[in-house]
Amino acid sequence: MNNHPNHIAIIMDGNGRWAEAQGKNRTYGHEKGSEVVRSITTYCAHHPEVDRLTLYAFSTENWKRPKLEVEFLMKLLQKYLTKELPTYLEGNIRFQPIGDLSSFSASLQKTIAELKEATHHCTGLIQSLALNYGGRDEIIRAAAALQAAQTPISLELIAQTLDCATDVDLLIRTGGDHRLSNFLLWQTAYAELFFTNTLWPEFTPDELEKIIQKFKKVERRFGGLH
Ligand code: FPP
């Protein structure tokens, strides 16, 4: 078996429950969760087999959360994207956001664009944060773009028109639930799915490496026979 986890995608779930279990506000869990985003990203940047890491940071459905929680998440994102520039540059990490960014405030859009621009030259890991992202929304936006361009449809063209053109090899969800929650619906067609009960604030590079080692033992057939 010679599987490489080239593209890892993670549904980072369990921040709220982790905080509540300690009698703290849910926002405390998001704050700790953002530190785990940094440690997992840095680990992947130094991993010889990982080229791309896509993290579900804010879904098209997350706007339904209480106003205060949404506002906190927006501020946390703004802080993270500003403060972590050295992490990206030191790790040679290129930041490539996915999702419909047009719903964010002008200032958050500017911060997102600045980090993208500042890391454009980086040649190591590509880290994508999925921001106001939904798999169905991504497919609808791509379909509309292809309709406007009036080009013949092909698998390659659809893939290239999506926010993310690269298939996922390994999808991980923390927090104990077993669902995709509208994440990378097209790109996970042949992904291996791993679920862990660990809540995102407690997820570690060590657990990630154990999952990668299990992934490498899986026989992937892509619909064929071996
Ligand atoms: C799920 O926890 C997490 C999210 C809503 C999105 C992930 C956000 C972060 C990891 C923090 C911010 C990220 C960055 C990059 C600054 P939940 O609130 O659904 O947890 P629960 O299922 O226990 O309620």
Name the residue ranges covered by the structural domains of the chain: 7-215
Identify the residue whose C-alpha is closest to ligand 1 atom 16: 77
Eight-state DSSP code of residue 69: H
> What pLDDT is stored for residue 226 in this prediction?
66
> What pLDDT is stored for residue 94 in this prediction?
98
Any idea which residue has 């060590």 for tokens?
A: 206
76 ligand 1 Cβ < 6 A:
yes
Cα–Cα dist 14/21, whole Å: 11
Contact 135, 184 (CB under 8 A): yes
> What pLDDT is stored for residue 223 in this prediction?
80
> What pLDDT is stored for residue 221 in this prediction?
79
201 ligand 1 Cβ < 6 A:
no
Nearest to 98 by CA among 143, 139, 147: 139
Per-10-residue mean pLDDT of the chain, 226 residues long, equals 88 98 97 98 98 98 96 98 98 98 98 98 98 98 94 94 98 98 98 98 98 93 77
> What pLDDT is stored for residue 222 in this prediction?
81
> What pLDDT is stored for residue 194 in this prediction?
98
Contact 38, 57 (CB under 8 A): no
Structure tokens at 203: 């997820």
Assigned architecture for domain 7-215: 3-Layer(aba) Sandwich (3.40)
